[in-house]
Amino acid sequence: MNRYLGIAFLFAALWFGSLQGESIKARVIATPQFNLEGIETIAIANFEESNPGDLFGKDLAGYITNAMVQASMGVGGGEFPLFQTLGNCASLKVVDQSQRDAIITQYEDQLRGLTGDAYAVKIGELAGVQGIITGTINYNFNDQNQSVGKGFLKVKAIERTVNVVINWRVLRVETEQIVAGNMVTVTCRSYKADNAVKDAIVAKFISNLNQDDLAPGNTFDVREAVQHLLQKSGVQVSAALATGTFPQELEIRRPSVDDNMRTCADRAMEAFENAKDAEDLEPAYKIFAGMAQSNPFAHELNYNLGVLSELVGNYSEAAEFYDLAAKTRKKETLYKDAAKRVEKVLTSPTLQSCLTPYAWPDVPEDVCAPMLVTLAGCVAYEEPDENANSVPIPADIEMTIIELAGEWFLVRLPNDMEWFVHKSKVKVQ
């Protein structure tokens, strides 16, 4: 490292970086709860219900189908880059509901008299799929008198709570074996007074509530509320089975560094900002990791390494970096929140099989040595002598400084060869 001391004199006084950072929006793979090994194509049967006339069973099948199709298409941040690599959890192919209905109509005679799992498995056989989703729906609602509002604006209203319980399962068509399943319980509420004036007070009251807990539009129509909850249930069933993606925005911090490291930090920030795939993130990783070798407890560097690891799907590695950053900067909520976020992902039972870890490159010792850019007419020499063997170097080629020797730089060229260039033929960046 002593050979870099002479290089430091090429730069100005200390610069203390701000916490200003760069953010990136990316797609993140959502790993499912179950890995349906051996099932590549799946269909959804109409769910059984206590009152078949409601047709909720067919509606739920449609909602699950739509959610799984969207997951397979990468809906959810599809315009953003994906830095993670999908492992053994390939996206499921889903039979369209209209195609399934056509099969039911065409083979009505073969399906007549079948119920429950036998009916679902037969549909799976006729559709030529390996898996079939089926299950049951139950719903109820109850009304209670409540006082809503505050002070003299408190009024009497009816609170309606609608509950939907879905018991779903996946059957392997060949063996009729249940390979996955769970129960989904969803609830929503709505409020209604007995006149328009009171309803206005109720509207003010519910505007302060968690909107996810409310029926859409504060509807008092039970069927509309059930449809809303079935749609939410369909998304949950899909998330348990289908590998999908969702958008996520992550930000790295500009590290506080001395002036001789400023250009290096800028290169890392620029590489991060312009990255389109995991390989594009490697320069930033190498630079931050190189800086961290000499300052292993720098919270900004550890946080940045955590962000890069999270982006490529190395969640265990990210958790370690975030945890170290949080411990060395205990009041920084950003670090704590990041640690909690990846710890939650690490609880996924299919994480290891669904994501392929990304192998970062080795970090060279001189990763933060200043870079030189060649000017027009640059020539590199085997020795610091213009009579030595030489090769022409095109303009605007970046080279790493190894050491300064009088009027000459010993540099590492892009092909990893070490040559000498004269100071007059390069500029430091």
Rounded Cα gap, residues 367 and 416, in angstroms:
13
Tell me the two tokens of residue 153: 């604006």
Rounded Cα gap, residues 63 and 111, in angstroms:
23
Q: Concatenated DSSP letters for 187-228?
A: EEEEEE-SSHHHHHHHHHHHTTS-GGGBPGGG---HHHHHHH
- Give the confidence band of 424 by pLDDT, cuts at 50, 70, 90: confident
Instruction: Give the end-to-end CA distance of the chain in Å, rounded to a whole number.
Output: 20
> Architecture of 371-428 per CATH?
Roll (2.30)
Longest dimension (CA), the chain: 100
- Phi, psi for 17 (deg, rounded to 5): -70, 150
Q: What are the tens digits of pLDDT across the range 79-124?
A: 789 999 887 776 789 999 999 999 999 999 999 999 899 999 999 9
> Residues spanned by CATH 1.25.40.10 within the chain?
2-27+246-356
Q: In whole angstroms, how far apart are CA 243 and each of 29, 121, 257?
A: 7, 23, 41
419 residue type, one letter:
W
Helix, coil or strand: residue 411: strand
Mean pLDDT of 364-372: 71
Contact 168, 134 (CB under 8 A): yes
pLDDT, residue 166, reads 97
- Phi, psi for 37 (deg, rounded to 5): -60, 130
pLDDT, residue 167, reads 98
Rounded Cα gap, residues 76 and 168, in angstroms:
24
Evaluate if residue 188 carries a pLDDT over 80: yes
- The CA-based dihedral angle spanning residues 92, 69, 176, 47, taken in that order and rounded to the nearest 10 degrees: 160
- Give the confidence band of 429 by pLDDT, cuts at 50, 70, 90: low
Q: In whole angstroms, how far apart are CA 242 and each of 35, 69, 141, 178, 230?
A: 9, 9, 31, 17, 18
Q: Concatenated DSSP letters for 68-123?
A: HHHHHTT-SSTTS-B-SEE-S-PPPEE--HHHHHHHHHHTHHHHTT--HHHHHHHH
Identify the CATH number of the domain defined by range 2-27+246-356: 1.25.40.10
Of 241, 230, 258, 232, the closest CA to residue 130 belongs to: 241
> Residues spanned by CATH 3.40.50 within the chain?
32-242
Mean pLDDT of 211-229: 92
Helix, coil or strand: residue 5: helix
More confident residue, 369 or 276: 276
**Residues counted in the chain:** 429
Rounded Cα gap, residues 84 and 68, in angstroms:
20
Q: What are the tens digits of pLDDT across the range 290-340?
A: 999 888 999 999 999 999 999 999 999 999 999 999 999 988 999 999 999
H/E element holding 381? strand 378-381
**Range scoring the smallest mean pLDDT among 193-197, 269-273, 356-360:** 193-197
Q: What is the pTM of this model?
A: 0.69
Identify the CATH number of the domain defined by range 32-242: 3.40.50
Rounded Cα gap, residues 365 and 412, in angstroms:
13
pLDDT, residue 104, reads 92
Of 306, 304, 246, the closest CA to residue 273 belongs to: 304
